[in-house]
Structure 1
Amino acid sequence: MNRRHCAAAAITLVCALAVLAAPVQAMAAPVPEPSATAPATVPATGKKTLEEVREEIDTLYRKAGAATDAYNLAEEQAKKQSGEIVQLAKAIADGQARIAELKNTAGAQAREQYRNGGLPPGAQLVLTDDPRLFLDGVNQVRQGQQATKSVLAQLKRTQEDLETYTQDASINWTKLESNRVKQAKAKKSIDAQIATAKKLESQLEKKEQARLLELEQQAASTAQAAWLSSGALKDINREASASGRQAIAFATAQIGKPYVWGAEGPGSYDCSGLTSQAWAAAKRPIPRTSQEQWRLLPRIAIRDMRPGDLIIYHSDASHVGMYVGDGAIVHAPRPGRNVTLTGAGSMAILGVVRPDK
Structure 2
Amino acid sequence: MGPDKYRVRAGGRRWTLAAAVTVVCAVTVLAAPGTAFAAPSPTPSPSGSPSASVTLPPDKDLEAVREKLDDLYHDAAVATDAYNAAEEAAEKQSAEIVDLARKIVKGQRKLDGLKARAGRAAAAQYRTGGLPDSAKLLLSDNPSQFLDGAGRVLEGERATKGLITELTQTQQDLKQYAADAAGQWNRLEAGRKAKAAAKKKITQRITAAEKLQSTLEKKQKTRLAELEREAAYKAQTAWLDTGILDEIHSKASAAGRKAVAFATAQIGKPYVWGAEGPDSYDCSGLTSQAWASAGQPIPRTSQEQWKQLKHVDVKDMRPGDLIIYFDDASHVAMYVGDGAIIQAPRPGRTVSVGGAGTMPILGVVRPDA
TM-score normalised according to structure 1 size: 0.83
Change (3 A) 1:277 1:263: same
Specify the SS of the correspondent of 2:192: helix
Q: RCO greater where, 1 or 2, for CA within 8 Å and sep 6 or more?
A: 2
2:42 alignment partner in structure 1: none
Distance 2:338 2:138 in 1: 91
Change (3 A) 1:127 1:152: farther
| 1:153 is aligned to 2:165 | yes
Structure 2, unmatched stretches of 5+, are 1-55
Name the stretch that deviates more: 209-218 or 260-269: 209-218
Asked if the contact 1:60/1:193 (under 8 Å) is kept, the reply is yes
Shift of residue 124, structure 1, vs aligned partner: 6.1
Asked if the contact 1:120/1:141 (under 8 Å) is kept, the reply is no
Distance 1:58 1:108 in 2: 75
Specify the SS of the correspondent of 2:368: coil
* 2:261 pairs with one of 245, 249, 252: 249
Distance 1:60 1:208 in 2: 19
Name the stretch that deviates more: 204-213 or 173-182: 204-213
| 1:348 is aligned to 2:351 | no
Where do 1:243-322 residues align within 5 Å?
Answer: 243-322=255-334
Asked if the contact 1:126/1:134 (under 8 Å) is kept, the reply is no
* 1:107 pairs with one of 107, 116, 119: 119
Distance 1:126 1:268 in 2: 88
1:50 alignment partner in structure 2: 62
Distance 1:334 1:291 in 2: 16
Shift of residue 138, structure 1, vs aligned partner: 2.0
Amino acid at match of 2:74: R
Shift of residue 235, structure 1, vs aligned partner: 2.7
Amino acid at match of 1:250: F
Shift of residue 221, structure 1, vs aligned partner: 1.3
User: Could you tell me the percent identity over the aligned residues?
Assistant: 61
Asked if the contact 1:112/1:120 (under 8 Å) is kept, the reply is no
Structure 1, unmatched stretches of 5+, are 1-44
Amino acid at match of 1:241: S
> Per-residue CA shift, 1:70-129, capped at 9, x if unaligned?
1111111111111111111121122222111111111111122223323699x9689534
Amino acid at match of 1:219: A
1:225 alignment partner in structure 2: 237
Distance 1:127 1:209 in 2: 109
Specify the SS of the correspondent of 1:49: helix
1:94 alignment partner in structure 2: 106
1:35 alignment partner in structure 2: none
Distance 2:95 2:139 in 1: 58
Shift of residue 208, structure 1, vs aligned partner: 2.0
Root-mean-square deviation over aligned CA pairs: 2.1
Asked if the contact 1:269/1:332 (under 8 Å) is kept, the reply is yes
> Per-residue CA shift, 1:218-267, capped at 9, x if unaligned?
21111111100111222312110011011101111100000000100000
Change (3 A) 1:204 1:113: same
Distance 2:191 2:57 in 1: 42
Name the stretch that deviates more: 66-75 or 123-132: 123-132
Distance 1:341 1:283 in 2: 23
Asked if the contact 1:247/1:278 (under 8 Å) is kept, the reply is yes
* 1:166 pairs with one of 169, 175, 178: 178
Give the length in aligned residue pairs. Answer: 313
Asked if the contact 2:104/2:174 (under 8 Å) is kept, the reply is yes
